[in-house]
Amino acid sequence: MRLEDDGDRSNVEDRRGSGFGGIPMGGTGVRLGLGGTVVVLALSLLFGRDLFSDLGAAPAGAPMAASTPAPSTAQVERRQAGERQLERTAVTSFNDAQRTWSTALARRPGGYPDAKLVLFWDQTRSGCGDAGAEMGPFYCPADEKVYVDLGFYRELATRFGAPGEFAQAYVIAHEVGHHVQNVLGIEQKVRQAQRRDPSRRNALSVKMELQADCLAGVWAHSAQARQLLDPGDLEAGLRAAAAVGDDRLQRNATGRVSPESFTHGTSAQRSQWFRRGLESGRVDACDTFGSAP
């Protein structure tokens, strides 16, 4: 991927080493597995409150101690240095995706208001409640920020078999896609529909996540048209989409698949919708809500 870093950090909030890492996650010693973490995170975003604290639970792998001492300046600098390339990829892809959507939505009343990118370590606080690195990258509509612990990218490569800069960029573009949904009013309509009919909550969540995958594909279409992609980049994006499918995550975590609990879609669905956005380059091709399940 050939995105240039122009040094623009105007929409980046770097909390790494700022002391947010000491936020306790859960007070009664209940530790959630990966599947439980995904479900509770989805519900926390849905209701705009920290259900981990309400349940007295910690995400999979989250520390149970009440707090951890703040790292020294030298420790922070060493860790940041080790993430320099990951940071560059996250920031440049975030900025490029935002510029793409600013152009695409230029004629919309109010245009495209920028989101913010929050870099953090281990744990932080968002407008949607306390968050841990174990949740993976996410978008919070309450404060219009994308949150990412860059360590997730290492897991994406080693645990999920989706290495490379473009796979990392896909993750950011997907979260920016959620911001586009928020800007266009889609996110609010989905939340209202979920409240009216709780039995459709998961199905509607899947459709919204697949649409974000398609919107990430629309950005990839733009990047390809501007000759910013290298050979193999698109395949890396498709692998990344497949790597975080509900069926694959559940099978890896528990050895079985429970379609009724899906919140993001299967690996095949996520790849399919990313490809649809990539090939069309159009927002109107991303109508997951009008499509058959």
pLDDT in tens, 75-93: 889 999 999 999 999 999 9
Q: How many residues does the chain have?
A: 293
Using CA atoms, how far apart are residues 162 and 96, in angstroms rounded to an integer?
21
Q: Give the mean model confidence (pLDDT) for residues 157-165.
A: 83
The b/e string for 186-199 (b: 16+ C-beta within 10 A; e otherwise) is bbeebbeebeeeee
Strand pairing category for 123-126 and 129-132: antiparallel
The pLDDT assigned to 23 comes to 44
User: What confidence score (pLDDT) does residue 5 get?
Assistant: 93
- What's the pLDDT band for 73 if we cut at 50, 70, 90? confident
pLDDT band at residue 66, thresholds of 50, 70 and 90? Answer: very low
CA distance 289 to 275: 17
For all residues of the chain together, what is the average pLDDT? 84
Q: Is the pLDDT of residue 35 over 60?
A: no
Report the share of the chain in percent with pLDDT over 90: 59
Give percent above pLDDT 70 in the chain: 81
pLDDT digits (tens, 9 = 90+) for 184-243: 999 999 999 999 999 999 999 999 999 999 999 999 999 999 999 998 988 888 888 888
Average pLDDT score over residue span 37-41: 54
- pLDDT at position 48 over 70: no
Predicted confidence band at 171 (pLDDT cuts at 50, 70, 90)?
A: very high
Q: What tokens were used for 37?
A: 């973490």
Name the helix (H) or strand (E) containing 120: none
**Rg of the chain over CA atoms, in angstroms?**
18
The CA distance from 281 to 222, in Å, is 7
In this prediction, residues 166-190 reach a mean pLDDT of 96
Cβ 290 vs Cβ 214: under 8 Å? no
φ/ψ (deg, to 5) at 119: -100, 130
pLDDT at residue 102 is higher than 90: yes
pLDDT recorded at residue 239: 86
Distance of alpha carbon 290 from alpha carbon 247, whole angstroms: 23
- Alpha-helix residue ranges (DSSP H) falling in 105-158: 151-158
Q: What is the pLDDT of residue 292?
A: 58
Q: Where are the domains of the chain?
A: 12-290
Are 248 and 242 contacting, i.e. CB atoms less than 8 angstroms apart?
Answer: yes
Maximal C-alpha separation, the chain: 54
Q: What's the pLDDT tens digit per position in 104-159?
A: 999 999 999 999 999 999 999 999 999 899 889 999 999 999 999 999 988 888 87
Hey, which of 165-169, 248-252, 260-264 has the most confident mean pLDDT? Answer: 165-169
Across the range 172-195, mean pLDDT stands at: 97
